[in-house]
Structure 1
């Protein structure tokens, strides 16, 4: 009899223990699942394009709704304002396709969201624009109205300093510079030290890299921009994303020289083409002798494959050391003789 009672108590104890373990497992599983859901929700929230953005330099603004619709506006200082409805779709990590309901814009636009900065680019007829996300919802109708008033006030206050969209309306500006067709397109540049690959997009009038956009303009030859560097803050604001471009010729080879619009010291960057491994590549140079800073390839695979290769027909900074060593050796030989 005592044995039966003992066995009964033992079985009851085991049943209660197993029930407690299962309850703990369910609680832990539920907590982990909830944590994953919260983490996933936060991650999705961080990369959402939904909201409104403004590009004060160009006088444009754009808004994206949760139902994949939106609106784009641009305050044209001379002609009628642009006011287009749009649809959008996510195509990759922080990358989106935008389609404007505008007969003048037949091709889709590409949007890249990095933090709170949105860069929108298109074909050769669309100037790349850089927008910053607003903390609060932006009223696009008020934005257009304020831009019109601002343009009028700025014109009166600053004399001949006007909206940057107008050709020849800003002192020293002779209009947009058109990049040669052979340089346009998407190029992939590999970092020689760590092998990482970055993308550079050259459009008709813009150069877009990771974290920057340059709008290409021509500057008047007799224009002295030095006084505008410190004395005209409104001028600096309107031209902050501008670059001045000239075409240089050396040994029968043309190079495109790009500098900041108000850049003083420094040679800027040089762009030209070369042929390596049987294909055209983009050569980006810098410094006094346009030494090679990077090679752009048409596909990412080649950029990674040839990242550390030096080409004998190109001029690198390291060549200076070699030339100096040769000169030192020659001088030593002459002294010995």
Structure 2
């Protein structure tokens, strides 16, 4: 969900953006509006109330916080959440099925399951020692399958929430996972490591030429500006039509415009638009 959480380790109090301090304020907690006994108990041996065995908090950039308490009550694993923009200390059971199912798997000694496709099993949305610091999320307007015709070849972009797959006619697809690089990103010289991470992209959000782009460079790229992707619209046959603009170079100069159908890509193959900047 493009959120980075802080874990309570039992050593330093966990303070939310609203000023709520845990575990101190467990004493005044309610669950579904009713008084409840929440107790920090990482071994889960507490018999009464909710034994809190793990606690994580995310402070939103816009204010407020989301706090998850992984608890055991009467021998049942329960994930509680407190999402608030105030100092409310009321908890409810999470509706996030992935959290509920995987916490139950941990409690019962079963393997956890990975969300997403098999190719995403090494993906993370947390700050990680290998330098990944969560995902860049594509705008909804950019998602879908797009086509472009240039130099006599049809190419295709498949854009999902955190990935872009590029396929040129007659070639194999090339997938890029859009990671936000963190301070721990290293330019590893081990060839095997580089091959294992060849689908990782170092992505960022930039604004150029009045367009909001996602800029993507190779994870080990040390020179060059990478590729720029932006959701946009153009007036075609009297209608505003969604497109994806792809650019490169220092000015994010437009290289290719992608359309929602192959027919439109064929029709507009030689068109250049006045509101886009070409090299």
TM-score normalised to structure 1 length: 0.43
How far apart are the structure 1 equivalents of 2:201 and 2:118? 14
Structure holding more helix per residue: 1
**Residue deviations 1:145-195, cap 9 Å, x none?**
xxxxxxxxxxxxxxxxxx83344344211122221111111001111x32x
Pair 1:188-2:150 in alignment? no
- Equivalent residue for 2:155, pick from 195, 198, 209: 198
Partner of 2:26: none
The aligned runs of 1:56-205 (5 Å cut-off) are 80=111, 126-127=116-117, 129=119, 164-166=122-124, 167-191=126-150, 193-194=151-152, 196-205=153-162
Post-superposition offset of 1:238: 3.3
Pair 1:225-2:186 in alignment? yes
Paired residue total: 161
The 3-state SS of whatever aligns with 1:295 is strand
Pair 1:289-2:251 in alignment? yes
The 3-state SS of whatever aligns with 1:178 is coil
Partner of 1:304: 266
- Report the CA distance shift for 1:214/1:273 in structure 2 as closer, same or farther (over 3 A): same
How far apart are the structure 1 equivalents of 2:273 and 2:256? 12
The 3-state SS of whatever aligns with 1:289 is coil
How far apart are the structure 1 equivalents of 2:118 and 2:141? 19
**Residue deviations 1:58-85, cap 9 Å, x none?**
xxxxxxxxxxxxxxxxxxxx98266xxx
| RMSD, aligned CA | 2.7
Checking the alignment, whether the CA contact within 8 Å between 1:285 and 1:291 is kept in structure 2 is: yes
The 3-state SS of whatever aligns with 1:175 is strand
Post-superposition offset of 1:241: 1.0
Partner of 1:34: none
How far apart are the structure 2 equivalents of 1:251 and 1:308? 21
- Equivalent residue for 2:277, pick from 283, 305, 315: 315
How far apart are the structure 1 equivalents of 2:210 and 2:195? 38
**Residue deviations 1:98-118, cap 9 Å, x none?**
xxxxxx9xxxxxxxxxxxxxx
Pair 1:258-2:216 in alignment? yes
- Equivalent residue for 2:165, pick from 208, 215, 236: 208
Post-superposition offset of 1:234: 4.9
**Residue deviations 1:199-219, cap 9 Å, x none?**
210011111122211111111
The 3-state SS of whatever aligns with 1:179 is coil
The 3-state SS of whatever aligns with 2:225 is coil
Post-superposition offset of 1:302: 0.7
Checking the alignment, whether the CA contact within 8 Å between 1:164 and 1:170 is kept in structure 2 is: no
**Residue deviations 1:250-286, cap 9 Å, x none?**
3653211011111111111101123221212110001
How far apart are the structure 1 equivalents of 2:210 and 2:157? 26
Checking the alignment, whether the CA contact within 8 Å between 2:202 and 2:218 is kept in structure 1 is: yes
How far apart are the structure 1 equivalents of 2:164 and 2:142? 11
- Report the CA distance shift for 1:243/1:269 in structure 2 as closer, same or farther (over 3 A): same
How far apart are the structure 1 equivalents of 2:118 and 2:205? 22
How far apart are the structure 2 equivalents of 1:314 and 1:176? 28
Checking the alignment, whether the CA contact within 8 Å between 2:132 and 2:185 is kept in structure 1 is: no
- Report the CA distance shift for 1:128/1:202 in structure 2 as closer, same or farther (over 3 A): farther
Q: Which has the higher contact order (CA 8 A, sep 6+)?
A: 2
Shift >4 Å, 4+ stretches: none
